[in-house]
């Protein structure tokens, strides 16, 4: 058992892998049992989490359960194969919002009575919850935004940011020019209103993440002429 109380026996021998060549029935049975234990471990870990992570992030989580970094690509493929086969739920991994489907095929209920009653219920029970007569930041002397390196961190922090009316941006490695420009425009507006602007950045503590942190200020400064 590890410090989270989860059984790692199935992974102590490494990631489930098929032997080269045509496996015997006995070898195939052993592999299927190892995959089943692998999937059971992922389900057990997910039951302790209140947010979803991507398939690559699962590799980092499984590292403490016996998956080495050299097997990350194979582990990611195995997770996705198990999602395709139904051995793991499709939604065991977070959706990539950058590839989200937009637009809506059906705009309203085909039953006008149901549509009207839905609007009445919304206005009576929920509309007041989103009513904000002033900006959350009007009486504050700071303005804060959050930026994260990837979708998994976005999913982790988004509920708290929503609760505190704080903008959060997924840099997705390196954010595009439009997102950076929009962020800088918001900062410029609040700075003009006398607020100290703070950008909280959460990245991986690895060479790639540290490189992003080091270059982020320059990436913003490069757009100062375009944004003003």
Report residue 181's pLDDT band, with 50, 70 and 90 as the boundaries: confident
**Res 145: pLDDT:** 94
Report residue 222's pLDDT band, with 50, 70 and 90 as the boundaries: confident
Whether 124 maps to a domain, the answer reads no
Q: How confident is the model over 91-114, as a mean pLDDT?
A: 66
State the total domains in the chain: 2
Q: How confident is the model over 193-219, as a mean pLDDT?
A: 87
Residue 193 structural domain: 142-227
Q: What angle do CA 74, 77, 79 make, to 5 degrees?
A: 110
Whether 114 maps to a domain, the answer reads no
Please identify, among 56, 76, 92, the residue that sits at the C-terminal boundary of a domain.
Answer: 92
Whether 3 maps to a domain, the answer reads no
**Res 97: pLDDT:** 60
Whether 210 maps to a domain, the answer reads yes
Whether 126 maps to a domain, the answer reads no
Pairwise CA distance, residues 26 & 13, whole Å: 18
**Res 105: pLDDT:** 47
Q: Both 151 and 216 in a single domain?
A: yes
Q: How confident is the model over 198-210, as a mean pLDDT?
A: 87
Whether 17 maps to a domain, the answer reads yes
Q: How confident is the model over 196-222, as a mean pLDDT?
A: 86
Q: Both 20 and 85 in a single domain?
A: yes
Q: How confident is the model over 111-128, as a mean pLDDT?
A: 79
What's the pTM? 0.57
DSSP β-bridge partners for residue 148: 170, 202
**Res 107: pLDDT:** 59
**Res 196: pLDDT:** 96
Report residue 4's pLDDT band, with 50, 70 and 90 as the boundaries: very low
Lowest-pLDDT range, 128-137, 143-152, 189-198, 206-215? 128-137
Whether 65 maps to a domain, the answer reads yes
Residue linked to tokens 């302790």: 48
Q: How many CB atoms are located within 10 Å of the residue 136 CB?
A: 11
In the predicted model, is pLDDT for residue 99 greater than 60?
no
pLDDT in tens, 34-79: 999 999 999 999 999 888 888 888 988 998 888 888 889 999 999 9
Q: Both 151 and 214 in a single domain?
A: yes
Report residue 33's pLDDT band, with 50, 70 and 90 as the boundaries: very high
Whether 123 maps to a domain, the answer reads no
């Amino acid at each position: 058992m590890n410090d989270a109380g989860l059984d790692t026996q199935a992974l102590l021998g490494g990631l489930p892998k098929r032997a080269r060549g045509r496996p015997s029935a006995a070898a195939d049975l052993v592999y299927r049992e190892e995959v089943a234990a692998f999937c059971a471990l992922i389900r057990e870990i997910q039951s302790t989490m209140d947010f979803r992570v991507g398939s690559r992030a699962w590799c980092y989580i499984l590292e403490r359960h016996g998956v080495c970094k050299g097997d990350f690509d194979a582990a990611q493929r195995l997770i996705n194969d198990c999602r395709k086969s139904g051995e793991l739920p499709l939604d065991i991994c977070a959706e990539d919002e950058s590839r989200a489907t937009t637009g809506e095929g059906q705009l309203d209920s085909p039953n006008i009575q149901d549509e009207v009653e839905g609007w009445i219920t919304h206005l009576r029970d929920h509309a007041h919850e989103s009513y904000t007569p002033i900006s959350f930041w009007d009486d504050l002397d700071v303005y804060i935004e959050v930026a994260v390196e990837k979708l998994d961190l976005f999913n982790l922090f988004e509920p708290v940011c929503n609760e505190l009316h704080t903008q959060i941006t997924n840099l997705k490695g390196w954010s595009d020019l439009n997102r950076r420009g929009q962020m800088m425009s918001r900062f410029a507006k609040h700075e003009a209103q006398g607020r100290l602007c703070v950008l909280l950045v959460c990245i991986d503590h690895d060479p790639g993440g540290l490189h992003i942190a080091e270059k982020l200020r320059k990436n913003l400064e490069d757009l100062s002429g375009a944004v003003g």
